[in-house]
Structure 1
Amino acid sequence: MQNQYLSKLRNGETLHTSDQIKMIFLLALPAILSQISSTVMQYIDASMVGSLGANASASIGLVSSTTWMFGGICFSGITGFSVQVAHAIGAKQFSKARNIMKQGFVIGLAFALVLSLIGCLISSSLPIWLKGTPEIVQNAYYYFFVFALFLPFQQLNYIATGMLQASGNMKVPSLLNILMCLLDVFFNLFFIFYLNLGVMGASIGTGCSQLVVSLLLCGFLFYKSDILKLHKGEKLCFDRHTIQRAMQIGLPVGLDRFVTSSAYVAFTRIVSPLGTIAIAANSFGITAESLCYMPGYGVQSAAVTLIGQSIGAKRQDLTFRLGTLTTALGVGLMTCSGLFMYFGSPLMMHLLTPDAQIIALGVQILRIEAFAEPMYGASIVVAGVLQGAGDTLSSSLMNLISMWLVRIPLAAGLAGHYGLPGVWFAMALELNVRGILFLFRLLRKKWMHRLKAS
């Protein structure tokens, strides 16, 4: 059904409002399930490690912001290619789309290998740089070192998922990411408990599940995808314009991820002196919150595909409307998830840890964060709209302003007097500021310059 709607979009046929809403839901629902499944995997890791004690949880929490940074930078390395694939498919230039995909694989994987090497080299020093306490430094080092080793497979997952979603196929990545959750349970049980590897076992288990699923995703993409499967006689041709355009799109995304992730690292440094309980509660709180904002990222994936193909097809009549409809859906879903976070926070924390002190502090900070979810949803989905349009620099600048001029200074000022709740109040305020900035950008329509120019 979703392919029929996308085909109408590419062919310039009329899509009524009801058709547009159905198309958004058909694309967003599998992506939402995929995002939720990845969050469930984080819950699995956190709950299994949480059973080992507060120190084990804190050791993962200490380096988690850095793992996001590396993952985000990897993602930025392929975004410029997946967006161009969506544009080419929207213009019905399928052979060009396949060549862009191949270039993305070669360059994206090479980029991930370099990052993996850097991660391995800094892994022993990283926990010390982050001001980890002596009892958690060693496990934090083991966890990050294994994460860095498996980073190329995480990148393969990003590339294959991004290309399939650009073509409009949300179902296969969703199903395989659900499989990754099941594999994560199996591998974690084996490595954490059967082999008694503890924190390092959690990282190995996650890495192995990513390895298996990334290879399955690549196999489907190369041999089964309707539009992007490999064709005999179509050789890889590196195109300077494609690479330059990928850098124009990807570098701001990389800057965005670096700015955001480095702010998370600074955030971790602010939290670290508050003690092991605060570090663990902060880590579990972030994991618990991620379940609530995953619907927003699912809608974001749909927005990237829809806006990318609309611009490729030169559908000026649909592009802005699809942008506003996807944003409204994201805000609505995350308003509901904010309500769930506020009232369900005790249950969410009990699932992650048996420690009463961590649970009490975690519930307190999650209820503060619940008030930021609607505007956070707006920023997430509008970022997808802008990404699909190739307007990624504005997202980076808005994140830079909100993270470094609002969140970090305010968190540093409040931490000494109010502890972790003060730090999370700063986060909630910043997310509301960010949402307002992104909505302003959406409604001004300057992101549609590429469509107007064509």
Structure 2
Amino acid sequence: MEKDKFTLWALSWPIFIELFLQFLLGAVDTLMVSRISDDAVAVVGFSNQLFNALTTLFATVAGGAGILIAQKLGSQREEDARTVAIISLKVTALIGALLSVLLITVPGPIAQMLQMPDELLPLARTYISVVGGGLILTAIMSTLSTAIRNTGNTQGPMYTAVGMNIIHIIMNYGFIFGAIGFPQWGLAGVAISTLVSRLIATLVLLFIFIGTFQRTIVWSDMRIFDRKLFREIMQIGWPLGVNMGCWVFSQLAIFSFLAILGTQVLAARTYMNTLESFCFLLGYSIALAAQIQIAHLFGGGKTKEAYRSAYRALKFGLPLVTMNAFILLLCGRALLGLFTSDPEILTIGVSLLWMNLLLQPGKMLNMAIGDALSALGDTRFVMYNSLISMWIIATGCSYLFGVSLGWGVVAIYACMIIDEYFRGFVALLRWKGRKYLRNKEAEMERERCESLRAAKPASNEERLSFN
């Protein structure tokens, strides 16, 4: 039964449903907010890039802890896995609390610093302060989901996501349209809806988390802190956090470039972000499931199975994301029409649909192999790969060609495509080298030899005693 929990299928389908519901949440959010105005959509898209950037600060700990939990469980060290989960929860809650205070206190200056257009600042202040003020909930929710998921229980976070989406959609509808007894508060209501749904989801995940391990987690366990295990978390986590930060901050920089090009370009990119999420949901679910599976196999010393798991993820993921991108190409204009009737925004969005067909396979390659390397703890390599490619190709070239030379959003999108393929193929070469897998095999061989040597003197003593 334990083995069945860690198959690619058993792990990936609940992750897909959870991510699909998150996508649905974002799509419904964008669709409903578009009924307020295109300016409101631009504020939500821009603000979410800011929130994503800030979440990397606690995702560093949560991501490292998740991989370590799967590795410890794979090596039959349940108590260590439990301690890692408790430590990560405490640390990320503290980081989330500090970020919440920051965003409540100075939302306006933060929006101005990020080049938010002046006409969007009043809406931005409200949205950033309310949703950003609840970043502590995002921190706790992210950590709990990651910990639960990496024990092999991917269904718990999935069911929680179902409930959170239902509550959020109902409240959004009420606040935007003044329906079912709610006041008509527009974008402020959307922000409150986001906050309340996340609070409820956090409480549900906390209830699941308490019983996740064989020994129930109690309030007194919050005093636990193991420095050695925390160092292990950070050894995996800090490069993982830098890698996440590279992506998020590069995207934030790119959104700033788009803001320079105009509100309509910014809104078009926000709508495309929503549609693109549909393309890689299945692929990302498989990549994330493979990461959990590889970490578990690696922790248990099953290096050959861990190596093959990454290729299985690619085998299933590449056709899926390509097919989804093609479907989006056929239906994209009609889908964009659900969000806006602005002809310029529609023209920009449609021009990017063909490019998305090239983007998604590269993104799948990068996700699957990058996550596989991270599962082994080879997060520094992934970090260096990201630092070079994202800042030189994705960000630097986007500014050069898109803004300085005036080639616009198409040039920026082309730079993002090149970045995905570059990082993907470099990661694939690293995976084929099997460095961490060979090191694990050598470590296991040393342990086997040491145990044999330790057994021999005992055997000789026993023979002498017998004689």
The TM-score with structure 2 as length reference comes to 0.88
Deviations 1:359-380 (A, max 9, x none): 2211211321221111101111
Instruction: Tell me the CA shift for residue 231 of structure 1.
Output: 7.0
Q: Give the match for residue 287 of structure 1.
A: 274
Matched, 1:65 2:49: yes
Match of 2:191 in 1: 203
Aligned to 1:91: 75
Letter in 2 for 1:437: V
Give the match for residue 452 of structure 2.
Answer: none
Which of 101, 104, 107 is 1:120 aligned to? 104
RMSD: 2.1
Instruction: Classify the secondary structure of the residue corresponding to 1:321.
Output: helix
Aligned residue runs from structure 1 range 47-196, under 5 A = 47-194=31-178, 195-196=183-184
Match of 2:381? 394
Q: Give the residue type in structure 1 aligned to 2:200.
A: V
C-alpha distance in structure 1 between counterparts of 2:314 and 2:161, whole Å: 24
Aligned partner of 2:310 among 320, 323, 326: 323
**TM-superposed deviation, 1:69:** 0.7
| Contact 2:82–2:213 (Cα < 8 Å) also in 1 | no
SS at match of 2:378: coil
Q: Could you tell me which of 405, 408, 415 is aligned with 1:419?
A: 408
Q: Which residue of 1 aligns with 2:425?
A: 436
Please identify, of 317-326 and 231-240, the stretch whose mean Cα deviation from structure 2 is larger: 231-240
Pick one of 294, 297, 300 that aligns with 1:310.
297
Query: Could you tell me whether the CA contact under 8 Å between 1:43 and 1:352 is conserved in 2?
Result: no
Shift of 1:125: 1.0
- Alignment CA distance shift 1:72-1:370 (3 Å): farther
Task: In structure 1, list runs of 5 or more residues that go unmatched.
Answer: 10-22
- Larger RCO, structure (CA 8 Å, separation 6 or more): 1
Within the candidate set 268, 273, 278, 2:260 is matched to 273
Percent identity over the alignment is: 21
What is the CA–CA distance in structure 1 between the aligned matches of 2:40 and 2:361, rounded to whole Å?
33
Query: What is the Cα deviation at residue 63 of structure 1?
Result: 2.5
Classify 1:336/1:227 alpha carbon distance in 2 versus 1 (closer, same or farther; 3 Å).
Answer: farther
SS at match of 1:124: helix
Q: CA deviation at 1:228?
A: 6.5
Q: Which moved more, 1:50-59 or 1:121-130?
A: 121-130
2:453 alignment partner in structure 1: none
Cα distance per residue 1:419-453 (max 9 Å; x no partner) = 22222122222222222222222222224355233
Q: Is the 2:11–2:154 contact (alpha carbons within 8 Å) kept by the matching residues of 1? A: yes
Task: Give the 4+ runs in structure 1 shifted more than 6 A.
Answer: 231-235
Alpha-carbon separation, structure 1, partners of 2:220 and 2:399: 58
Post-superposition CA distance 1:383-430 (Å, at most 9, x none): 221222122111111111221111122222332433222221222222
Task: Select which of 230, 241, 263 maps to 1:254.
Answer: 241
CA distance in 1, matches of 2:222, 2:194: 34
Q: Which residue in the other structure is 1:18 paired with?
A: none
TM-aligned CA deviation for residue 214 of structure 1: 1.5
State the SS of the aligned residue for 1:125: helix
How far did 1:344 drift?
Answer: 2.4
Judge which range, 403-412 or 58-67, deviates more.
58-67
Deviation of residue 227 (structure 1)?
4.1
For residues 230 and 297 of structure 1, the distance between their equivalents in structure 2, rounded to whole angstroms, comes to 31
Q: Any stretches of 5+ residues in structure 2 without a counterpart?
A: 445-467
Q: Is the 8 A contact 2:57 2:95 kept in 1?
A: no
How far residue 201 of structure 1 moved from its aligned partner, in angstroms, is 2.0
Pick closer, same or farther for the CA change 1:366–1:450 going to 2, 3 Å: farther
Q: Deviations over 1:230-265 (max 9, x none)?
A: 379978531111011111111111211222122112
Correspondent of 1:212 among 192, 200, 216: 200
Residue 369 of structure 1 corresponds to 356
Task: Tell me, in whole angstroms, the C-alpha distance in 2 between the residues paired with 1:110 and 1:249.
Answer: 20
- The residue that corresponds to 1:13 in the other structure is none
Task: Answer with 150-159 or 191-200: which moved more.
Answer: 191-200
CA displacement, residues 322-374 of structure 1 (integer Å, 9 cap, x when unaligned): 12212332223222222223222213312333333322211211321221111
